[in-house]
Amino acid sequence: MPAKSSSFGAVMKEAFLHQPLQERQATQSLRQLRLPEGKTDFCSNDYLGMIYGGLIEKTMSSEDAAAPHGSGGSRLLAGNYPAIEALENLLAGFHEAPAALLFNSGYDANLGLLSCVPQRGDTIIYDTLIHASLRDGIRLSFARAFSFAHNDVAALDKRLQTATGNIFVVTESVFSMDGDEAPLAAMVHSCRQYGAHLIVDEAHATGVVGPKGQGLVQALGLQDDCFARVHTFGKAVGCHGAVILGSDTLRQYLINFSRPFIYTTALPESSVAAIRTAYGLIPQLQAERQRLRQLIAQFQAATLPFQKLPSTTPIQVVIIPGNETVRRVAARLQAAQLDVRPIQSPTVPQGSERLRIVLHAFNTATEVDRLIQELCKTT
């Protein structure tokens, strides 16, 4: 009897992987990687054009450009060095926080914060639309967790009334898939009333919101009312990494108990130099932030054949229910050389599939007009 081929054996061993992939294929929700194709960018999170314009590379000193690309170990072993601590001090000062701690990404920061701070007997209350990284951190915590309806402070208050232990309220300042802002002032009031600790992810507000791009919390003057803030650098900042802002005690606690901080190689000096250079540029980009506001107003004023969510941020959302339908509309825009991507379920709830349109300071009014015209042709 002939022996089965090794390739057949490999397929049999991976059968448990094929079934969920086939299910995704059947529901037209299978994710695939794509390369950029030179289309007009209405997709990336490069809100200020930091990457598009090569601003970091043009500004960085020759000494910083030659910085090492490795750190040699975790921060607690060989990976701590003067430049990384100097950057933390700079970030704490810019964001008006007592202390700062760098993480390798926004995902690591959210995972590291929420997995180790809330303990058994504590309560986490979170906006139902928070990012997956926040949700994953919550899942790793031993605390009880409850969601509340998106941006609904009355629903938050109802949850707070029955919360036990140390209470943590988790939200984003600008929501990544809806583009709207959290009612932070009202949430601060609720947290004060019930003695809760407010945690705010500022990923999509960093660099964009506020007169110097400090984020929504500082724009509202609420920095002293937050237990922790997370700013990430992979969006408007144009590089990589993230920072958790809070008290000196929180920083020391994370250094001792946050596994994504303890058990990973530290950011290299080249990344630290890029972040430092970007933060030197961000306060100066008032013209870019003004340009964004003009383009946002232009898009919001347009009449479209689809539901358009209200948003004062670069994230503009057009709801087109159904994975097949939203993919078809996106394909038409792609054919018109407009890089707009569909957001399908299960990334968003079924029935709320959408085009996530991102405006940038480097987009032109003519390009936005063409986008609007093409959207009106897709009915």
pLDDT tens, position by position, 280-312: 999 999 999 999 999 999 999 999 999 999 999
**CATH, residue 332:** 3.90.1150.10
Catalytic position from the list 108, 201, 202, 269: 201
Say if residue 353's pLDDT is above 90.
Answer: yes
Establish whether 122 is a catalytic residue: no
Catalytic position from the list 95, 197, 231, 235: 235
Give the mean pLDDT of 253-267: 98
The β-bridge relationship of strands 315-319 and 307-308 is antiparallel
Establish whether 204 is a catalytic residue: yes
Do residues 228 and 101 share a domain?
yes
Query: What mean pLDDT is reported for the chain?
Result: 95
Residue that is last in its domain, among 249, 264, 283 = 283
Establish whether 45 is a catalytic residue: yes
Say if residue 81's pLDDT is above 80.
Answer: yes
What span, in angstroms and rounded, lies between the C-alpha atoms of 236 and 45? 6
Catalytic position from the list 110, 115, 133, 176: 176
230 near 106, Cβ under 8 Å?
A: yes
Do residues 369 and 352 share a domain?
yes
Instruction: Count structural domains, the chain.
Output: 2
Structure tokens at 89: 């001090």
Establish whether 13 is a catalytic residue: no
Establish whether 131 is a catalytic residue: yes
Do residues 222 and 306 share a domain?
no
Distances (CA, A) of 348 to 12, 156, 185, 318: 33, 21, 27, 13
Do residues 111 and 249 share a domain?
yes
Look at residue 19 and tell me if it is in a domain. no
Look at residue 6 and tell me if it is in a domain. no
Domain that holds residue 369: 285-377
Do residues 273 and 292 share a domain?
no
pLDDT at 271: 97
Do residues 127 and 238 share a domain?
yes
114 near 137, Cβ under 8 Å?
A: yes
Give the mean pLDDT of 217-234: 98
Do residues 238 and 298 share a domain?
no
Residue that is last in its domain, among 283, 300, 315 = 283
Say if residue 7's pLDDT is above 70.
Answer: no
Give the mean pLDDT of 57-72: 93
9 — pLDDT class (breaks 50, 70, 90): low
Do residues 242 and 373 share a domain?
no
